[in-house]
Amino acid sequence: MLRYLLRRVLIALPVLLGISIIVFTLVVLQPGDPYVSMIDPNASPEQKAELLNRVGYYDPLWVKYLKWAGRAVTGDLGYSIQYGAPVSQIVASRVGNTVLLAGSALAITLLVALPVGIFQGLRRDTGRDLIISILSFVALSVPTFFLGMLLIKIFAADLRWLPSSGVVTVGADASGFAGVVDVARHLILPALTLATVNIAVCSRYLRTGVSEILGLDFVRTQFALGAKPGEVLWGSVLKNAAKPLITIISLEIPALLSGALLTETVFSWPGIGRLNFEAVQNRDYALLMGIIMFLAVITVVANLLADVIYAIVDPRVRVAR
């Protein structure tokens, strides 16, 4: 197992290197001067040129990359022009909110999608399966921002059960258990919005996997030999049906972190998604590069975790790869 894990890590390192080179090149080659906001409009052309030369603006592309990469491996991702603070500090201040939102959405996804997918797989082509399938297609079709605004209209504006935006209630200054409850109330609507599409996707994959494996010969043989349905379901069917779901979830983790822009915008949730959008708007290239590389690392780690889980579920994978 350790040897298998080492091989996967050695593959992941050049992937990260390639991503950093491509992303850095694309970001640096963007038109315009990202340092324009730092320069006094009344400064002479000579003063502007001196400042740009000091920050390495005129350096060759490969020199810029080596300087950035040398700092990045030590945790220094540069300095944000927009916020006037180190990029690592800004990302760290927002990542907790996004992890909380994405983690809650993933938990809701698994709690709902697993029993629904198993039920549909066991009751395929029945009336209840058809109703759930229709609801799944509706969930996949509704835009995230529209669903978010609809939930705000119903539960925040009409029923007044839940807050419509932010992480905490402004001016409430709640702490301890009351503070946790306050954050949880603000979290419910955005987490449900973010989880809805994922529930539909994961349940569909699990439905297909369960129904297909139930029709295989080795499962029929177990039933013919008198095995209990519960033992067959948990010991054979779900173990094999969960494999595609592992891949889907590993892809959903970075997608939840990076794709929460619309949800964070609708609910004014201060996370990585909104920060990334603000970096693009303000041409804050150092911040943009730091966010992209953070998400790239998360993506690689999520795929590495999926490989490890695959190897645990099916030991044959360790030999095949």
Contact between residue 234 and residue 240 where contact means Cβ atoms under 8 Å apart? no
Sign of the Cα torsion 176, 178, 181, 182 reads negative
Question: Does residue 25 sit within a domain?
Answer: no
Residue in this structure with the two tokens 């983790």, named with its chain if needed = 253
Q: State the residue range of the domain holding 100.
A: 87-320
Q: What is the CATH number of the domain that holds 254?
A: 1.10.3720.10
Contact between residue 86 and residue 71 where contact means Cβ atoms under 8 Å apart? no
Question: Does residue 204 sit within a domain?
Answer: yes
Question: Does residue 229 sit within a domain?
Answer: yes
Tell me what pLDDT residue 125 has: 81
Q: What letter does residue 152 receive in the DSSP assignment?
A: I
Instruction: Indicate whether 317 pLDDT > 90.
Output: no
* Amino acid identity for residue 250 in this structure: S
Tell me what pLDDT residue 171 has: 66
Tell me what pLDDT residue 270 has: 85
36 pLDDT tier (thresholds 50, 70, 90): low
Q: How far is residue 122's CA from residue 70's CA, in Å, rounded to a whole number?
A: 55
Question: Does residue 34 sit within a domain?
Answer: no
Tell me what pLDDT residue 316 has: 64
Question: Does residue 294 sit within a domain?
Answer: yes
Tell me what pLDDT residue 34 has: 63
Q: Residue 95: which of 270, 250, 252 has the closest Cα? A: 270
Residue in this structure with the two tokens 């054979």, named with its chain if needed = 236
Domain count, the chain: 1
Question: Does residue 225 sit within a domain?
Answer: yes
Helix-helix angle 61-72:2-28, to 10 degrees? 140
DSSP states along 165-209 = SSSS-TTT---HHHHHHHHHHHHHHHHHHHHHHHHHHHHHHHHHH
Instruction: Indicate whether 319 pLDDT > 60.
Output: no
Q: How far is residue 167's CA from residue 161's CA, in Å, rounded to a whole number?
A: 16
DSSP reduced 3-state for 212: helix
For residue 303, the surrounding DSSP H or E stretch is helix 285-313
* Amino acid identity for residue 244 in this structure: P
Q: What is the pLDDT of residues 237-279, one digit of tens each?
A: 777 777 777 777 877 777 777 656 778 888 888 888 888 888 8
Q: What is the pLDDT of residues 168-180, one digit of tens each?
A: 777 666 677 787 8
Q: What is the mean pLDDT of residues 61-76?
A: 85
Question: Does residue 48 sit within a domain?
Answer: no
Question: Does residue 315 sit within a domain?
Answer: yes
Q: What letter does residue 36 receive in the DSSP assignment?
A: G
Q: Residue 8: which of 308, 312, 313, 309 has the closest Cα? A: 308
